[in-house]
Structure 1
Amino acid sequence: MEKVFKGRVWKMGDDIDTDTIIPGRRGTIPEMKEMGKYAFELLRPEFASESKDGDIIVGGKNFGCGFSREQAASVIAINGIKVVIAKSFARIFFRNAFNKGLILIESDGVQDACKDGDTMEVELNKCIRVNGQEFPVKKIPDNLLQIVEDGGLIESIKKRNRALKQREVN
């Protein structure tokens, strides 16, 4: 798994709720790729069409609050975002994101050092660099990084089950 990510910043504010990430009325779209076209449509209508693989979202406090809607993490990832940085995350969004293979990093201060379009470098479990400044990050537990590396929780469980079956055979 990559340990260093470099990408363009999409700056968001505080209290970005799951309805802002993907409106509830869009939650019934059966294809995730199609649903991804509506990510942040009310706040940043250009996001889905202009985001690129490797871009980074920087939010404020309480990112992902609101309903327990796992599609919120999925539509962020489907638009090429690998990392979301915020001062804090809503608990259910935090877990949903890792379960979908999206990395979340808590860091305070970076929000004031960057703006939309800046290039940011993130070194997992070490620091964030942007505009000549460096910011520490909270360590991401190994078990969550393993889920991301495996491609999400479902793939991680399949991998563990295959390993268990292989041990039984041997």
Structure 2
Amino acid sequence: MLVHVAGAVQKPGVVSLPEGSRVFQAIEAAGGVVSNAELHRLNLAELLSDGMKIQVPVAGEVLPPPSPLAGSSGSTSGMAGTAAGTARVNINTASLEELGTLPRVGPVTAQAIIDWRQEHGRFASVDELNAVDGIGPKLMESLKDLVTVQGG
């Protein structure tokens, strides 16, 4: 399986791990943490799933709180839980950084979502993401269960 490890690690990027791997193993595969990482804010024992993104915070970095919405483990690992489906990102209120926690959404696509929202107003449904430049059918399919337009 492939997992994206970002933030306060030596070699951020995508790592390949066997099924059943844990957060701490993904961090090790990314070369370990940098000196100002705050590992205590992650659940290092959390079971990983394919396509997950783990954001290792640096000291003082603000992460969105984990949400106790439907999910397999009630994740408390900050950003890792977001991509795993334990918390949905509200595309009507999310910041550039929050949108960037979604799998396969980098700064350019995150900015395109924000630009579309500023030009057209709130998204009426998740399906409207199809109208955003850079979001094709495959990306849309991977995002539809990770985002919402409710609340906020």
**Does the pair score TM above 0.5?**
no
* Structure with the higher helix share, 1 or 2: 1
Return the structure number with greater relative CO, CA threshold 8 A, min gap 6.
1
The structure with the largest alpha-carbon Rg is: 1
* Structure with the higher strand share, 1 or 2: 1
TM, length-normalised to structure 2: 0.29
TM, length-normalised to structure 1: 0.27
